[in-house]
Copies of this chain bind each other. A is one copy, B any other.
Amino acid sequence: MAQEIRLYTKYQLEEHCRVNLEGSQAHYLINVMRCEIGDRISLFNGRDGQWQAEVTSISKRSISLIALAKMRGQSPSPDLWLVFAPIKGKSELVVEKATELGVSKIIPVVTRHCVVRSVNMEKLEAHAIEASEQCERLDVPTLETHKDLSHLLGAWDGNRKLLYGDESGKGTSLTKVLNDMKQEKIAILIGPEGGFADDEFSMLRACGFTIPFGMGPRILRADTAAVSALACVQSHMGDWDLQPHFIGNKN
């Protein structure tokens, strides 16, 4: 379907407020989408809902808009976190998919067998924003700076269950884990391609808030595992009973 232009902005949005976009957003609107004065796009900021805004002026590197009317009220995203070990060349993909699947927070975690030990947060954030714009979310997941596994576990709020993919094969099936859960706060933890180290497994098992899970007899790549686990959580206890906001307007 032909989709409207939706852009995330950090600015406050309210009636008649002016928003000035620069950098890549201005480039996109001016040079890619060839926006002209009077064109209308949608803006959201994660707090004030979605606003229709009109282009009021265009210069070489910036574009000004005025917010006209609120089209959708702010609705919360599911309270679901993803903790994942960065994957060479695929961390952006994981962030994009996790955003589409509605996670509220993403935390990269470095473990012993990680091939990638640093994370380009700016790049990940750009992917989270773009995915939010595309998938009709009204917010962007929070991206935390990466931490070591031990640091992450040490500072963990025990009220949130940390479900970790146990690629040793010893975890209970994710289906059963989710069936047995009440409406609890959840984070999914997916380790690196090389798996968790023995002492990391010990650390994980020693925590009162962790639950190991498996996803069947085939060994999933880390990015497949992340997407699959998040989809299952959303299917089991997320917001899949809701429909896209445009329902009724299109086909």
Contacts and interface: CB of A to CB of B under 8 A. Distances in A.
A197 B134 CA distance: 20
B244 A135 contact: no
Contacts of A243: 169-170, 214, 216-217
A25 interface: no
A97 to B, nearest CB: 5
How often does this chain occur in the complex, in copies? 2
A224 B175 contact: no
B220 A100 contact: yes
Interface in A233-248: 234-236, 238-247
Contacts of A214: 240, 243-244
B170 A219 contact: no
B224 A239 contact: no
Contacts of A219: 100, 134-136, 244
A24 interface: no
A227 interface: yes
Contact of A169 (B218, B239, B247): B247
B100 A218 contact: yes
Interface string A97-137: 10011100000000000000000000000000000001111
Contacts of A32: none
A66 interface: no
Given A1-B194, A235-B232, A169 B246 contact: yes
A140 interface: no
A134 B250 contact: no
A218 B201 contact: no
B218 A135 contact: yes
Given A217-B239, A231-B231, 10 more contacts: A97-B227, A102-B216, A102-B218, A135-B219, A168-B247, A170-B251, A175-B236, A215-B235, A217-B245, A219-B244
6 contacts: A100-B219, A101-B218, A102-B218, A170-B251, A216-B239, A217-B244
